[in-house]
Amino acid sequence: MSKINVSVVGASGYVGGELLRLLLKHPKVNLKQPTSETYAGQLLKIVHPNLRLFGIKFVALKDLEKCDVLFLCLPHGISMNQINEFKQKAQLIIDLSGDFRLNEPKLYQKWYELNHTKPSLLNKKVLGLPELYKDQLKKATLIACPGCMSTTAILGLYPLIKAGIVVEDQPIIIEAKTGSSAYGNKLTKASLHAERSGVMRSFKPTAHRHTAEIIQELTINGKKPQIHFSATAVEAVRGILATSHVFLKQGVTEADIWIIYREFVKNKPFLRIVKEQKGNFRYPEPKILIGTNVCEIGFEKDPNSNRLVVMSALDNLMKGAAGQAVQCLNITQNWEEELGLDSVGLYPI
């Protein structure tokens, strides 16, 4: 079986490590080079102990060779400045930073406090959200994977807004709870055990940059939704739970909502509707999705109003980052979408 050569730039972080884990076991991929400026020349196990069985070393960026596909796992603001060099190394670039997610250059100043240095590429990229852009991904040369919290929220809300059952002049309230791995492995005071243990901390009650992606992808037929997004840190390593409140038009029944979601998840292997009548896991639960590329979606209609509560959950390092990137890779190569991503969640954990 012939394999393609792929490399990962910025492979020493949590997302980079998760991507290495997936690529090393992918049946149609040869991991050529993982880069790290800090750990160049050292084995992967130095920062990714779960990969100690693989005798592969990090290389410096200056030693990066040509390959078929290049994954970028870099801090925001770096990919855009070096994209020309990266494009000389591979025909397909899959960027996991925020540098190409947004469609308008002016939004980068507002949400990232950056002046975008390659605005002409923003309308040439394809957003790496397969459930919305599968056909476009098949021909992409630059893929910008969306953020973990925006992915969670968008997948839960998109089918409702697309169906036109949400009241347009009512706000959509989204509260996302996330684990510590979403902040990366850079040491800060906030990441200390004494600071994280037992935490339920609102760290971005307003103006979180993922708001821009949610607004962008939920603007359908020119109708821009009123998105109010808040982010909260909880005591977990992995996982995101987004709880969204929308207001339905008169006459929409729970049966209507079921039909909309069932149609949306059809032929989408990593989406799952969860709405049980009893038990501990009646709604989506990030904990049992750890290590999977699955996004679970659940909902409950308020019997006393036209409010609908939508719950969506995923593993932020998988469907929220590395897993989604590999899903995009599979689509670009016309492989089975689930290839290398068939992990089942662990329980109990």
Domain ranges of the chain: 4-124, 149-316
% the chain with pLDDT above 90: 92
pLDDT given at position 194: 86
Is 145 a catalytic site residue?
Answer: no
pLDDT given at position 277: 87
The pLDDT tens digits of the residues spanning 164-180 come to 999 999 999 999 999 99
CA separation (Å) from 142 to 128, 160, 180, 215?
Answer: 9, 29, 29, 22
Angle between helices 254-265 and 148-163 (to 10 degrees): 120
CA distance 219 to 232: 25
For residue 60, pLDDT beyond 90? yes
Find, among 348, 281, 283, 289, the residue nearest to 323 by Cα: 289
Place of tokens 């796992």: 73
Catalytic residue among 145, 148, 295, 328: 148
The pLDDT tens digits of the residues spanning 19-39 come to 999 999 999 999 999 999 999
CA distance 10 to 132: 27
Residue 69 sits at φ, ψ, to 5 deg, of: -135, 135
Report whether CATH 3.30.360.10 matches the domain 149-316.
Answer: yes
Q: The whole model's pTM is what?
A: 0.97
Find, among 57, 71, 84, the residue nearest to 23 by Cα: 71
pLDDT given at position 1: 62
The pLDDT tens digits of the residues spanning 244-253 come to 999 999 999 9
CATH topology agreement for domains 4-124 and 149-316: no
Compute the chain's Rg from CA coordinates.
20
Find, among 68, 100, 339, 306, the residue nearest to 216 by Cα: 100
For residue 186, pLDDT beyond 80? no
Lowest mean pLDDT of 10-24, 31-45, 65-79, 176-190, name the range: 176-190
Find, among 268, 296, 267, the residue nearest to 282 by Cα: 296
Tokens of 248: 């339905």
Report whether CATH 3.20.20.80 matches the domain 4-124.
Answer: no
CA distance 192 to 224: 39
Alpha helices in the chain (DSSP H): 14-24, 79-87, 106-111, 130-137, 148-163, 193-196, 210-218, 254-265, 323-332
Output DSSP code: residue 42. Answer: S
Tokens of 169: 């002049």
CA distance 327 to 319: 9
The pLDDT tens digits of the residues spanning 257-287 come to 999 999 999 999 999 999 998 988 999 999 9
The pLDDT tens digits of the residues spanning 91-145 come to 999 999 999 999 999 999 999 999 999 999 999 999 999 999 999 999 999 999 9
Residue 52 sits at φ, ψ, to 5 deg, of: -65, -15
CA distance 165 to 256: 9
Average confidence score pLDDT of the chain: 96
The 10 Å Cβ neighbour count of residue 220 is: 13
Tokens of 28: 């149609």
